[in-house]
Amino acid sequence: MDSVDLEVVRSAVAWVRDGHRATVGTITHTWGSAPRPVGAMVAIRDDGQVMGSVSGGCVEDDLIDKVKSRAVAAEKPEVVVYGVTQEQATRYGLPCGGTLQIVLEPVREHSHLEDLLAAIERHELVARTLDMETGVATLQPGRWSDNLEFEGKVLKSVHGPRWRVLLIGAGQVSRYLAQMAQALDYHVTVCDPREEYYEAWDLQSVPLNRSYPDDAAIAMNLDAHCAVVALTHDPKLDDIALLEALKSPAFYVGALGSKKNNDGRRKRLADFDLAAAEIARMRGPVGLRIGSKTPPEIAVAILAEMTAVRHGVQIPELVEAPKVNVTSGCAVPQA
């Protein structure tokens, strides 16, 4: 569940509390090209207010009309399909003849959306099972390997952070990176055993793990939904975390520092039980080359690269633009 879909659940709960009727839609299947992935959600209020998205907009317009008139999912969950024909795909703005299957669910007490929201806000991974005949939903702890499942009678959806990131070091870059990563639906762990950094850490939403980094990495049982980024510049802390991360299935492993420092780090790692192919997985200097200098810019560069790797996008080496001086609102290239 990404941050947009979290807002869908939050809005639906708030609307019902305020006495409105609310309907939640979840994409359960797509054929061809689709603007939003399976699992994407939308909430529609009885007066037509909407939160979230399941398409580029035209499908939402039709859904709003149907929900307002109670033409669909008035009493229990119902399946709707858009784009079966080329004419429908064109009408609803679905690209390349794409088709969407959506489960619409009227929110009731037995939907347990309030319980679901509370669990998500605790950063828990939750599997929710919806009985299409009765509309009754049940919640249970989710697993990292869970995916949305729908065979017509029961909808099983997964909510909460599906992705995890371990940040080594509690400095300024970690502070910005932790907050941005949470907005992208990562469960964030920041690890730093140094006393001086513990005393200065004040992010309430991200508790500081004071274990040694290798112990923290082992305890997380790193899998293919995990990223590890070393940010301390201290080999005693960064290298031991990288040793564990590079041996794991983690989809992204990176280290802050210059090319020279990271070349030295690779030589040190080669003295341990790591194969050349494992060492080659380390991204260092970490992040896309976007000319980032400040901690927030560095965090953006790292998360941009993580996002590309997560989605299997190959990004060519970026050529940095000429530096400029900004004078009176005009950009003037430096000599």
Q: Measured in whole angstroms, how far is the alpha carbon of residue 121 from the centre of its chain?
A: 14
CB atoms within 10 A of CB 48: 11
Sequence spans of domains, the chain:
3-159, 163-310
In angstroms, the CA 185 to CA 51 distance is 18
Output the pTM of the full model: 0.65
pLDDT band at 321 (very low <50, low <70, confident <90, very high): very low
Residue 157 · residue 105 · CB < 8 Å: no
> Residue 333 has what pLDDT?
44
Which structure tokens are listed for 129? Answer: 């099972």
> Residue 327 has what pLDDT?
45
Give the least confident one: 22-26, 270-274, 281-285.
270-274
In angstroms, the CA 129 to CA 124 distance is 16
163-310 folds as Rossmann fold (3.40.50)
Task: Summarize pLDDT for 32-75 with one digit per residue, the tens.
Answer: 766 778 999 999 999 999 999 888 667 889 999 999 999 999 99
Using a pLDDT cut of 70, give the percent of the chain over it.
Answer: 88
Q: Residue 285: is the preceding peptide bond cis (ω within 30°)?
A: yes
Question: Is the pLDDT at 223 greater than 90, yes or no?
Answer: no
| CA nearest neighbour of 24 among 1, 35, 123 | 1
> Residue 332 has what pLDDT?
43
Region for residue 167 given its phi and psi (left: phi exceeds 0; alpha: psi -120 to 50; beta: otherwise): beta
> Residue 55 has what pLDDT?
82
Residue for token pair 């007066």: 47
> Residue 225 has what pLDDT?
87
Task: Summarize pLDDT for 101-146 with one digit per residue, the tens.
Answer: 999 999 999 999 999 999 988 778 899 999 999 999 999 998 877 8
